[in-house]
């Protein structure tokens, strides 16, 4: 998804495809949860405070985290920018 606006809740899950999220403007209030069994997660968001993460997952917040982005890919790459 390209040039999206920050939304209250966005959840994407895929079995074998990649997920790429590109924000039009940097989110101001976001909770991010990303999980990939392929261990390839890249997040480049201004102001992201990483809460925890491993080779296969990443969690973090921006601002008050009133909006939520949840991404799950069983066998694909996750990119957020």
Asked if residue 34 belongs to a domain, the reply is: yes
pLDDT of residue 38: 84
pLDDT of residue 68: 95
Asked if residue 2 belongs to a domain, the reply is: no
Q: How confident is the model at residue 8 (pLDDT cuts 50, 70, 90)?
A: confident
Statement: residue 81 has pLDDT above 80:
yes
Domain extent, residue 32, equals: 9-80
The domain tally of the chain equals 1
Asked if residue 18 belongs to a domain, the reply is: yes
Note the pLDDT tens digit of each residue in 26-70.
Answer: 999 999 999 998 878 999 999 999 987 777 899 999 999 999 999
Q: Which residues have a Cβ under 8 Å from the Cβ of 56 and sit 6 or more positions away?
A: 35, 36, 37, 39, 41
Integer Cα distance of 57 and 63 in angstroms = 20
Asked if residue 4 belongs to a domain, the reply is: no
Integer Cα distance of 34 and 47 in angstroms = 17
Higher pLDDT pick, 8 / 27: 27
Global pTM reads 0.87
Asked if residue 62 belongs to a domain, the reply is: yes
């Amino acid at each position: 998804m390209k040039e999206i606006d920050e939304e209250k809740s966005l959840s994407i899950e895929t079995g074998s495809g990649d997920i790429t999220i590109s924000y039009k403007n940097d989110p101001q209030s976001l909770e991010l949860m990303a999980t990939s069994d392929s261990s390839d997660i890249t997040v480049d968001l201004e102001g992201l405070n990483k809460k925890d993460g491993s080779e296969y997952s990443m969690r973090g917040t921006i601002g008050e985290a009133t909006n939520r982005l949840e991404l799950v890919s069983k066998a694909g790459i996750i990119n957020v920018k």
